[in-house]
Structure 1
Amino acid sequence: MNAMQPPQSIEEIKAGLETTEKGGVRQSIRNCLTVFQRDPLLSGAIAYNILTDRKDIIKPIGFHRESTALNDTDMKYLLLYLEETYGLTNEKKIDNAIGIVANENKYHHPGLPKCLVWDGTERIRFCLRHFLGADADDYTYEALKLFLLGAISRAFQPGCKFEIMLCLVGGQGAGKSTFFRLLAVRDEWFSDDLRKL
């Protein structure tokens, strides 16, 4: 299977889809896969993000989106498009095809760390003191340094073993979640929702 086939016209794709004995479009994973691989709008649009462990939509597909993550609203638009354009309506088969296409179109893009250039200013040693009022001792420095090195390792080697967690203790509103949100740089790379972990 090849997820990156050259896009075709909708008419060419329709002509190549498997049909039922009565001439209707067969509701099959193969047909859904063909559409996701060859449709001018959908070809190359869905990918699996190794860093975030989710399916993303990585190019414009005809409707407004807030983030790259494939969500329920996106699925509704995709279902509508496949129904109106190709007569494909089986949600389970469409979802299976999306999973296959995403798996065949994996990407890992830790782009931000690669483009950053250190200016020589030491920040880790006093970071927790500055933002959260923690002690400025060697232990605090080493703990944050180890945590950040682990985070960077995970960005460049997804799935690498790192079982250390930095625990911040403080009252509500102390800035703990805000600190990590800022450290993540992009909101889509941050979550403090335990149900999403």
Structure 2
Amino acid sequence: MEHGYALLGLATIDYATDVEEAAVRKNVDKARAVFTELKSPGSIFHCDRVEAELQLRRGDVVEPAICFKKWLSIYRAEPNFALECLCKLADPDYGMHQPETTFAYAVVMFGYAKKAEIMPSVYLALRYIGDMFLRSGDEVTARHLYQISLEGCAVMGIHKHQAECLTRLARICRKEGDASRFVDLLRQAEYLFERSSQAKRVDEVKQLLK
């Protein structure tokens, strides 16, 4: 079992740092073989999760949506498993659902995480809800939600999510014509993306700063 989780851990880190898909999948397949032999469905869930995330990175949304809904129905009473699924289903950037469905998942995620007192998921859900308000043109509500999420993630040292909030706040500042604040927020985001080994996002921020 430990060997399987070691392989899965490598796959998860590689995925998070944008390592090529073949390398990630190789370790996922090895881990899945270990967990299948040991008949550990909870561990197989994590293999399915990484595979679904790889599909999402390619822009495929149908199979990941089916996967996360399936596991959510199985583990809805297990906070850690359920929130792993909800954090994907509620992310508007993936585009797995119509906006109203994505918004509903984000609200459910917030309520579930709040009840379970899993604060990183609370702050992530608030960011997702902020995204939905921003897309609907309500910058005031979006900014408020991003600020709460940013402050919460800062206290917990969650650099990647801090940076994501900062890029969204920068987008609002640019729309308002506040160029200096736009640049300041993006530079903060760039630093935090670097701290969390998000090379692709660092490059995207650099392009915005040109």
Give the alignment's TM-score, normalised by structure 2: 0.25
Which is richer in helix?
2
Q: Write 1 or 2 for the structure with the bigger share of strand.
A: 1
Q: TM-score, normalised by structure 1?
A: 0.26
Larger Rg: 1
